[in-house]
Structure 1
């Protein structure tokens, strides 16, 4: 959101020292980044974006509302643990094209990006221990101090376009091989192949 500066403070602001790039980066990591179409590419998909953990949410969703305190506190928790993962959120009830592009079918959808590419995804409410693990905190040190068992299973893998293309080619070969099966087995095999193909549906903005 834009900041409005009162006229009497303009001179003081102009005279203030310009923060260093490192300080600016630290400030970004200490707060949740609100994503819009104007900054999504730079904050998430850019070559220098690094590791970004994004919550795709809808304001009316009760699970998103329950997650909000955890999500707001997550940047400072990660900073204390020495993990430089950027935490961000995007309202895909407003920016629906992004929800469609990244396959959001439930709220909240939490997606981990690495160097501009989605590498993991989880849908639903999680606690702080799980959020920290997904964001890159190991099960030792800061995370272990939270106590309890392993806080969360692995995130669902998000495949790259090249990986999807390769998988689709393999499925096409399997489909051709199914034709040689007895008719009693063919329908079930085709159904399984169709289900897997649906999982590999690609989306793009």
Structure 2
């Protein structure tokens, strides 16, 4: 399977894409990982979750002005519709996602 570009990934038709900008050395990023796995499982088929390592992909982080990590950005039809830096608790993230993934 060919590797898709970041732009191709966030332009997923009909499905919102949650992007986690993170780094392996970041403690709060490690805290966020199981929350994101839970969201991906809970909204399987309705939401795509992508992790972008800012050390390996500085251009993508720069393009979206990511200053701190973790930073989550929710894309809907290729457009950023929500963003938050820092750890986002599962219930709060679920509330945000509910408006885009349906129930």
**TM-score normalized by structure 1?**
0.44
2:17 pairs with 1:52: yes
Runs of at least 5 residues in structure 2 that lack an aligned partner in the other structure? none
Structure 1 or 2: more helix by fraction = 1
Structure 1 or 2: more strand by fraction = 2
1 CA distance for matches of 2:77 and 2:30? Answer: 28
Residue of structure 2 equivalent to 1:86? 48
1 CA distance for matches of 2:75 and 2:29? Answer: 20
How many aligned residue pairs are there? 100
Residues 6 and 60 of structure 2 are in contact (CA less than 8 Å); yes or no, is this contact kept in structure 1?
Answer: no
Residue of structure 2 equivalent to 1:39? 5
- Higher-RCO chain (CA-CA 8 Å, sequence separation at least 6): 2
2:35 pairs with 1:73: no
2 CA distance for matches of 1:117 and 1:101? Answer: 13
**TM-score normalized by structure 2?**
0.82
Question: RMSD over aligned Cα, in angstroms?
Answer: 2.4
User: After TM superposition, which residue ranges in structure 1, 4 or more long, deviate above 2 angstroms?
Assistant: none
In our comparison, the structure showing a higher alpha carbon Rg is 1
